Amino acid sequence: MPEFPDIEAYLCALRGRVLGQPLQKVRLASPFLLRTVEPPVASVEGRTVGALRRIGKRIALGFEGERWLVLHLMIAGRLHWKPSNTKLSGRNSLAAFDFPSGALLLTEAGSRRRASLQVLAGEEGLRSVDPGGIEVFESDFESFRRALTVENRTLKRALTDPRLVSGIGNAYSDEILHAAQLSPVALTQRLGDPEWERLFRATRHVLESWKQKLCAEAQAAFPEKVTAFREGMAVHGRFGQPCPRCGETIQRIRYADHETNYCVRCQTGGKLLRDRGLSRLLGSDWPRTLEELEVLKRS
| Residue pLDDT, tens place only, 216-243 | 999 999 999 899 999 999 999 999 999 9
Q: Which amino acid is at 179?
A: A
Which residues are paired to 99 by β-bridges? Answer: 102
Residue 284: pLDDT above 60? Answer: no
pLDDT band at 113 (very low <50, low <70, confident <90, very high): confident
Give the domain extent around 48: 4-127
The residue among 31 and 42 whose pLDDT is bigger is 42
Average pLDDT over residues 198-226: 96
State how many domains the chain has. 2
Domain boundary among 71, 99, 127: 127
Helices (H), the chain: 4-18, 122-127, 141-148, 155-159, 170-180, 193-220, 264-267, 276-282, 290-298
Cα–Cα distance list, 223 to 3, 21, 108, 166 (Å)? 14, 20, 15, 22
Average pLDDT over residues 139-166: 96
* pLDDT computed for residue 294 by the predictor: 47
* pLDDT computed for residue 296 by the predictor: 40
- 84 and 8 both lie in a single domain: yes
Average pLDDT over residues 75-100: 95
* pLDDT computed for residue 286 by the predictor: 40
* pLDDT computed for residue 287 by the predictor: 47
* pLDDT computed for residue 156 by the predictor: 95
217: domain CATH number? 1.10.8.50
Residue 101: pLDDT above 50? Answer: yes
Residue 293: pLDDT above 60? Answer: no
Percent of all residues in the chain with a pLDDT value above 90, rounded to a whole number:
84
* pLDDT computed for residue 239 by the predictor: 94
CA distance 20 to 123: 20
191 Cα distance to chain centroid: 25
Q: Which amino acid is at 35?
A: R
- 201 and 291 both lie in a single domain: yes
Average pLDDT over residues 262-288: 69
- 119 and 229 both lie in a single domain: no
Q: pTM surpassing 0.85?
A: yes
Domain boundary among 67, 95, 127: 127
CA distance 59 to 64: 17
Cα–Cα distance list, 138 to 118, 124, 142, 147, 183 (Å)? 26, 20, 12, 13, 25
pLDDT band at 111 (very low <50, low <70, confident <90, very high): confident
Cα–Cα distance list, 58 to 30, 54, 66, 153, 192 (Å)? 19, 6, 17, 25, 33
Return mean pLDDT, the chain.
Answer: 91
* pLDDT computed for residue 288 by the predictor: 54
The residue among 173 and 289 whose pLDDT is bigger is 173
- 145 and 289 both lie in a single domain: yes
* pLDDT computed for residue 292 by the predictor: 45
Average pLDDT over residues 239-260: 90
Greatest alpha-carbon pair distance for the chain in Å reads 69
